Structure 1
């Protein structure tokens, strides 16, 4: 029985070796998972970098708006600052998803500069995954910045 086993597979192996369609199918079966893993990985990195840049830019825009308002003697509350940043984040050009976006505005700590109030702004954004059910490590982008305004 053991001697017959190679004889059974020999015609199959010869067919695969001599048939170019069969060879292409085997090559595709071996390389397709690697190709798709690389494709999805590149897409996920691209989405991560776009969201990372968007979060940084939203914080910078929020800081800029708060500084301009304080220069016009228009003192904003924490909730007003938060709503300005959220409005900026969900509209073009950033288009971040509000369900995955957390904006914290905090004045509770003492200021590091005398005569100035320190406002801390932190944004956390959870990234969406391309492959459902597989969460990548580090899938939350966090950016924090402090504003010093005259008190």
Structure 2
């Protein structure tokens, strides 16, 4: 029995003094946290970039309504959605783009910009399409459910119940006469 205890102490002493492989063990302990942080940073950067691309696409496509090109060509909601998608198709699946164009007449105080998310964090698809006439105040809002991937490690920027992030872009303007 003493021989076994003595042999175990000798092995433990040699193990304690041997530093080979300690860097690998330390990296294995830190790596999951490092990669979780790295992927979270990448994901946040991607959805901010996608939000900016969506914002730019909405501003560009809204000029069609502002300058009355959409009214003159009798552009429908799907046509306008396609115009937005063509300006951001590298990042967005056009089937997931929702377009809401509302006419508020001539009074800016009537404008309502509540997000289409109910109390249970579900997206409410009540999109309208009214491009108005000369001098009307128009608010164009475009929504896209951006998929998130790093939400399982304690980082969750989602604002929808299905784990996605609802990206929103808005343009408000008065139609040209």
TM above 0.5, yes or no, is yes
Give 1:53 deviation, angstroms. Answer: 0.6
Give 1:98 deviation, angstroms. Answer: 2.1
> Which among 137, 141, 147 is matched to residue 122 of structure 1?
141
Name the counterpart of 2:167.
Answer: 141
**What RMSD, in angstroms, separates the aligned Cα atoms of the two structures?**
3.4
Name the counterpart of 2:36.
Answer: 37
How many equivalent residue pairs? 141
Moved over 4 A (4+): 7-10, 90-94, 132-135
- CA spacing shift, 1:25–1:43, aligned 2, 3 Å: same
Whichever structure has more helix as a proportion of its residues is 1
Give 1:133 deviation, angstroms. Answer: 5.7
- CA spacing shift, 1:136–1:121, aligned 2, 3 Å: same
- CA spacing shift, 1:16–1:104, aligned 2, 3 Å: farther
- CA spacing shift, 1:24–1:74, aligned 2, 3 Å: same
**Correspondence list, 1:83-102, <5 A:** 83-90=79-86, 94-102=90-98
**Alpha-carbon contact 1:90-1:96 (below 8 Å) kept:** no
**Correspondence list, 1:13-24, <5 A:** 14-15=14-15, 17-21=17-21, 23-24=22-23
Hey, what's the Cα distance between the residues in 2 that align with 1:25 and 1:72?
62
**Alpha-carbon contact 1:119-1:146 (below 8 Å) kept:** yes
1:110-130 per-position Cα deviation (integer Å, ceiling 9, x unaligned): 3227x7212221111221213
Unaligned 5+ runs, structure 2: 109-133, 160-164
Unaligned 5+ runs, structure 1: none
Structure of higher RCO (CA pairs closer than 8 Å, 6+ residues apart): 2
Give 1:83 deviation, angstroms. Answer: 2.1
Hey, what's the Cα distance between the residues in 1 that align with 2:94 and 2:152?
21
